[in-house]
Structure 1
Amino acid sequence: MTPLAPNDDLLPLTGSVTSYSTLATTHCGRSVGRNSLTGVVSAVADGDTLTVAGTAVRLDSIDAPEISQTYGSQSKSALQGLALNKFVTVYYAKKDRYGRVVGSVFSDCTLINLEQVRSGSAWYYQAYQCEISASARNEYAAAQAAAQAADRGLWAYTATAPWVYRNGVEPAIPACSSTLPTWSSTPSAPLVGSSTPPATPAPAPPTVAPTQPTSCALVWVNGYYRDNGTHVRGYYRRKPGC
Structure 2
Amino acid sequence: MFTGGAWGMVFRFRKSVRIAPGVRINLNAKSASVRVGPKGLGYTVSTTGKKRLSASIPGTGLSYSEVVSSKRRPVPSAPSQLVASQTKPSSKGPLALVLLAIGAGLVWCSTPYNETPGFVQPNLKPATAEPDPRASQGTDAYAGPAPSVQKTLYSTANVRLRTSPSAESQIVLTVPVGSAVLSSKREGSWHHVSYGNYSGWILGDYLAEPGTEPAATPSPVAPLVSSEQPASDSNTISGRATIIDGDTIDIAGTRVRFNSIDAPESAQLCRNSKGKNYRCGQSSAKALDAWLAKSRPVTCTFIDWDRYGRFVGDCYRSDGTAVAGWLVTAGHAMDWPQHSGGAYAGHQDEARLARRGIWQGEFQPPWEWRAAQQAPKPETTNPVRLLSGSCDIKGNISNKGVRIYHLPGQRFYDETVISPAKGERMFCSEDEARADGWRRSKR
Matches for 1:159-178 after TM superposition, within 5 Å: 159-168=363-372
Q: Which residue of 2 aligns with 1:93?
A: 303
2:356 to 142, 149, 152: 152
Matches for 1:46-57 after TM superposition, within 5 Å: 46-57=245-256
1:22 to 220, 224, 235: 220
Residue type of the alignment partner of 1:122: A
CA, structure 1 residues 144+28, in 2 after alignment: closer, same or farther (shift >3 Å)? closer
CA root-mean-square deviation: 3.5
1:167 Cα shift? 0.8
Q: Which residue of 2 aligns with 1:79?
A: 288
Distance 2:223 2:352 in 1: 31
Q: Which residue of 2 aligns with 1:220?
A: 387
Matches for 1:68-217 after TM superposition, within 5 Å: 68-69=267-268, 70=270, 71-84=280-293, 86-108=296-318, 109-130=320-341, 137-138=342-343, 140-168=344-372, 215-217=382-384
1:83 Cα shift? 2.2
Unaligned runs of 5+ in 2: 1-175, 177-216, 271-279, 374-379, 391-425, 431-443
1:21 Cα shift? 2.2
Unaligned runs of 5+ in 1: 1-17, 131-136, 170-212, 224-233
Contact 1:221–1:237, Cα closer than 8 Å, also in 2: no
Contact 1:34–1:92, Cα closer than 8 Å, also in 2: no
Distance 1:116 1:39 in 2: 19
Distance 1:30 1:37 in 2: 11
Contact 1:89–1:105, Cα closer than 8 Å, also in 2: yes
Residue type of the alignment partner of 1:56: R
- The number of aligned residues is 162
Residue type of the alignment partner of 1:100: R
CA, structure 1 residues 214+97, in 2 after alignment: closer, same or farther (shift >3 Å)? farther
Normalising by the residue count of structure 2, what TM-score does the alignment of the two structures yield? 0.33
Distance 2:329 2:229 in 1: 19
1:216 Cα shift? 4.4
Contact 2:230–2:299, Cα closer than 8 Å, also in 1: no
Distance 2:258 2:303 in 1: 12
Q: Secondary structure at the match of 2:387?
A: strand
Distance 1:220 1:30 in 2: 32
Residue type of the alignment partner of 2:325: L
Query: What are the Cα deviations for residues 175-233 of structure 1, in whole angstroms up to 9, with x where unaligned?
Result: xxxxxxxxxxxxxxxxxxxxxxxxxxxxxxxxxxxxxx97344311345xxxxxxxxxx
Q: Secondary structure at the match of 1:115?
A: helix
Distance 2:293 2:253 in 1: 13
1:20 Cα shift? 4.0
Normalising by the residue count of structure 1, what TM-score does the alignment of the two structures yield? 0.57
Residue type of the alignment partner of 1:75: S
Q: Which residue of 2 aligns with 1:185?
A: none
What is the identity percentage for the equivalent residue pairs of Structure 1 and Structure 2? 31
Contact 1:218–1:237, Cα closer than 8 Å, also in 2: no
Distance 2:322 2:368 in 1: 26
Instruction: Kindly indicate whether residue 237 of structure 2 is the aligned counterpart of residue 37 of structure 1.
Output: yes
Select the structure of larger CA radius of gyration: 2
Q: Secondary structure at the match of 1:74?
A: helix
1:129 Cα shift? 1.7
Contact 1:34–1:93, Cα closer than 8 Å, also in 2: no
1:82 Cα shift? 2.3
CA, structure 1 residues 236+24, in 2 after alignment: closer, same or farther (shift >3 Å)? closer
Contact 1:123–1:144, Cα closer than 8 Å, also in 2: yes
Residue type of the alignment partner of 1:21: S
Residue type of the alignment partner of 1:236: C
CA, structure 1 residues 23+122, in 2 after alignment: closer, same or farther (shift >3 Å)? closer
Structure with more of its chain in strand, by fraction? 2
1:80 Cα shift? 0.5
Query: What are the Cα deviations for residues 100-122 of structure 1, in whole angstroms up to 9, with x where unaligned?
Result: 10111111311011100010000
